[in-house]
Amino acid sequence: MALKEKATFPGSNNEFSLHPDCKKYTLRDYGFQQTPKGQFEYNRPVKPSFKDSRSIMLKIQVAKDLSGLSMNTTNANGLQSVNVYKGDRLADFIQPLEAILTDMEEQHVLKKH
């Protein structure tokens, strides 16, 4: 995934960038893991409800100098990209996904454009 200043999910109209107040410790506090190359990764399963066995993965990568990011949703094993905004089959994942993104905005990790 190429890291750009602004990122969006396939099919979404919302565009995100790193919040100007975001620091490396902010990312670590939120659950991002630092890779051996210095980049930050956030991998989290997203489920429509707590008891649901279906899930997708939210993947966010941030450059080590905080200059860019990439965002993607994949299937549960993380190998194939999925578009939750396309069709009705994955529509129940939109609300929990956007709740996570809203929380990231409130914690000054991401900024919505």
Q: The domain containing residue 13 runs over which residues?
A: 6-107
CB 56 within 8 A of CB 74: yes
In a domain, 112, yes or no: no
Tens-place pLDDT, residues 51-84: 888 999 999 999 999 999 999 999 998 889 999 9
In a domain, 113, yes or no: no
Q: Residue 16: which CATH number?
A: 3.30.1820.10
Asked if residue 4 has pLDDT above 80, the reply is yes
In a domain, 69, yes or no: yes
pTM of the model: 0.91
CA distance 92 to 106: 23
CB 46 within 8 A of CB 58: yes
Percent of the chain residues topping a pLDDT of 90 = 76
Counting the structural domains of the chain, the total is 1
In a domain, 1, yes or no: no
Q: Which of 80, 64, 72 shows the shortest CA–CA distance to 16?
A: 72
